[in-house]
Structure 1
Amino acid sequence: MRAKVLIIADDLTGALDSAVGFAAPGRRVMVARSPEDVAETWATRPDVLAVNTSSREISAKAAAARVTHALEALSPDDFDVVMKKVDSRLKGNPAAETAALARWAGRARQVACPAIPEMDRRVEGGALVGAGVADPIPVASRFDDPVEVPEIGSDAELDRLITDAPDSPLWIGARGLSFALARQLGVTAPPDTGLAAPVMIANGSRDPVTLTQIAALPENLTRIEAPDGTTSDAVPTPGQPLALTITDGGGALPGAEAARRFAETIARTARAARPAALVICGGESAQAALDRLSVTSLQIIAELRPGLPLCRIDTAWGPVDIVTKSGGFGAPGLLAEIVTTAGTR
């Protein structure tokens, strides 16, 4: 029987980024967008279930409660591998959330390894060091329960750690650990197949990185601006690629209200354009737009590019490929490359 894997993450990006390592042909990898969506998502019988608890920015007590709630529809006996996905720099509520998961899982041994060797983030002397880490971050002190903190500086050391584990502990870590666990299960990533066409890009980010990417899109792409999150009543032509971008309306509309309006605009435009693929730039825009589209779970298909999980969702007009991208991620030509290679599979 194929091993079953459970990943609990404190945000959607983390859930996608950790679970994508398990994606492979014939393997069903699902992400529940909230604790309330766990039962429905688990009922699809995935091999890998990742859960977004949306708990990084709330109190420790509330975060633990959300983890506990997410686990109510599950049994620890159903999972061979259990992992608490934590922020690679241990932000948020790792202690409270891990303790809640450990109580449910009943696994006395806990192994914390937030190293991501591909990003040059290592664990040395019990602390996280490397790229993007200004000062060493002690690992064990970020947790309430005793945790083992192995020295890890490479993917090979991660692989040995998992291979040599005498039992199945509660694993605690980030992308580096999840990909190593996937390798241990014999998972190899599928080839890059590109997105289905046509593609709709929805940009809710004002980050200069994404704005540069939008400017580099092909000239024949339909462009729609949404001042303060709203557009005219013009209806996009179904079957044509397009880019929808939030812009400054010049008024005093609060940012939160503009974001709310833009999420509604994304959903309305997508229903009219009926794209086969949807690329949403900006994490908050993605979450809000998925709410408006009544999406409760995502099936991870592959990693379109490193750091860009390719998922599939069910919509009123059929299955749609979806990619979420943070505002500051990617080279200037990333979006143009994605659009021009769409439909090649």
Structure 2
Amino acid sequence: MVKLLIIADDFTGALDTGIQFVNRGIATQVFTGKPERPAEIAAQTEVLVVDSETRPMTPESAYENVKEITAWAKSLNIEIIFKKTDSALRGNIGSELQAVSDGNREKTLYFLPGYPKMARLTINGFHYIKETLLEHSVFGQDPFEPVTQSYIPDIIRQESQMSLQCIGGDEPLSRISGNPSAVICDIRHQEDMEARVEELLERGQLKLIAGCAALADSLASKIPFHRNAPNQCRQTNGLFVACGSLNRITEQQLIYAQKNGFTRQHLTIEQKLQKGYYDTSAGKAFLQYILETCRKHPQMIVDSMGGEEAMEAYRKKYGISMPDVRRLIPEAHGQIADFLARNHMDITVLTTGGDTLMGYMKLIGCTQIRPVCEIEPGVVVSELENRGFLQQVISKSGGFGTEDVLVRIAEKITNFNK
């Protein structure tokens, strides 16, 4: 029986939140969208994760989508609804919190946005990335979703009319006045998260909650679930990195990996944006080239970074919209991952960027994925089925990880390094 529903706005977020429960042996399912039939939800499932795929939507569309999922959860009498938010507060934060709140007006939503292990802290209602105000961090210059404010109530109010209160890490919930729609809780340390979750449980107020993977970790440890032995990932003969992220943090990770044994291939403008490219003779030859390179070099990167001016000119010449760009680049990476699966390559596919893995799954018509384990903080190993072939995949947010994270993952996941 499902006790907890998690609504994530992208697929990477769905996985790095759901894995916190999988790590503790809690029966968890991850869906790309609301399950169409009740039979798709296993009887033993206690945590259900739904990717609403609302990150690139307009605030209005995101609101309607999340509200529909919330109403569906309420109809199933799911006790706790957890709106997963990005740890850098990208996306439609205000409209999606409003949607969850509107679906359950009798309850207050508690927002615990911090992720102390990743140095993402909330202090006096302001959000920080490694001691830098959010708006002045790398996320303030994000090419798709720049976050231009740091005070969380201001971020929420851009898309919402919710009544808000902020509460300090040392203040008890009894200090809250009136009946706010949402309470924003300071989080400086993981202990702040643990204490707040315990307080909500004791008061019987753990009903509507929002935050990132750090909150999921705390919920997984505090809520009484049935627990089994956790899963383990398997080693494969290689690691293929499909990099759809444009984040500067990811760029430094790619450079470091290339200096430490990885082969790297940049996608051309046509390989990224030409519709139907992979059905052409040039596209088929490129896929074969990638396959042969993977056979010779067990650690390979294919990325879509760089060439912004050329890409902009190509986009304008052929009338390609920015939403099309966000669809075509993940689809290009998906074509390559699909080709590796069709050739039964014993290789783990690591995707970076929230859209990349989803682009692949949409391409092959896959609506479910099985999280296996967390190999690094925020880096999730899963399995999916493609034409009967069981493929091991890894998802990583573009902004997560230290410079050497790809090298460390390769050391853990591949036989090549043993």
TM-score normalised by length of structure 2 = 0.68
Letter in 2 for 1:163: E
Q: Output aligned runs, 1:215-294, within 5 Å.
A: 215-216=258-259, 218=261, 227=268, 228-229=270-271, 230=283, 231=286, 233=288, 236=291, 241=298, 243=300, 245-246=302-303, 254=315, 256=325, 260-275=331-346, 277-294=348-365
Letter in 1 for 2:89: L
2:251 to 201, 204, 208: 208
Q: Output aligned runs, 1:148-227, within 5 Å.
A: 148-165=183-200, 166-167=203-204, 168-185=206-223, 193-205=232-244, 208-216=251-259, 218=261, 227=268
Question: CA offset at residue 115 of structure 1?
Answer: 1.8
State, as a whole percentage, how many aligned pairs show the same letter: 19
The match for 2:118 is 119
- Verify the 8 A CA contact 1:196 1:321 in the aligned structure 2: no
SS in 2 for 1:341: helix
- Verify the 8 A CA contact 1:115 1:173 in the aligned structure 2: yes
SS in 2 for 1:163: helix
* Count of residue pairs the alignment pairs up: 341
Assess, with a 3 A threshold, how the Cα gap between structure 1 residues 236 and 31 changes in structure 2: closer, same or farther.
same
Question: CA offset at residue 114 of structure 1?
Answer: 0.9
The match for 1:24 is 23
Letter in 2 for 1:70: I
SS in 2 for 1:108: coil
The match for 2:144 is none
Assess, with a 3 A threshold, how the Cα gap between structure 1 residues 96 and 123 changes in structure 2: closer, same or farther.
same
Assess, with a 3 A threshold, how the Cα gap between structure 1 residues 127 and 209 changes in structure 2: closer, same or farther.
closer
- Verify the 8 A CA contact 1:213 1:332 in the aligned structure 2: yes
Q: Does 1:313 align with 2:384?
A: yes
Question: CA offset at residue 123 of structure 1?
Answer: 3.1
Assess, with a 3 A threshold, how the Cα gap between structure 1 residues 189 and 183 changes in structure 2: closer, same or farther.
farther
Q: Does 1:96 align with 2:95?
A: yes
Q: Does 1:128 align with 2:127?
A: yes
Q: Structure 1 stretches of 5 or more lacking a match?
A: none
- Verify the 8 A CA contact 2:341 2:386 in the aligned structure 1: no
Q: Distance in 1 between matches of 2:186 and 2:266?
A: 49
Assess, with a 3 A threshold, how the Cα gap between structure 1 residues 271 and 224 changes in structure 2: closer, same or farther.
farther
1:138 to 148, 152, 155: 152
Question: CA offset at residue 17 of structure 1?
Answer: 2.3
Question: CA offset at residue 308 of structure 1?
Answer: 0.2
- Verify the 8 A CA contact 2:101 2:108 in the aligned structure 1: no
1:28-49 Cα shifts (integer Å, max 9, x gaps): 22222234x5647952343211
The match for 1:62 is 61
Letter in 1 for 2:396: K
Q: Does 1:47 align with 2:46?
A: yes
Task: Give the helix-richer structure, 1 or 2.
Answer: 2
- Verify the 8 A CA contact 2:114 2:212 in the aligned structure 1: yes
- Verify the 8 A CA contact 1:204 1:246 in the aligned structure 2: yes
- Verify the 8 A CA contact 2:11 2:357 in the aligned structure 1: no
Question: CA offset at residue 331 of structure 1?
Answer: 4.1
Question: CA offset at residue 226 of structure 1?
Answer: 5.6
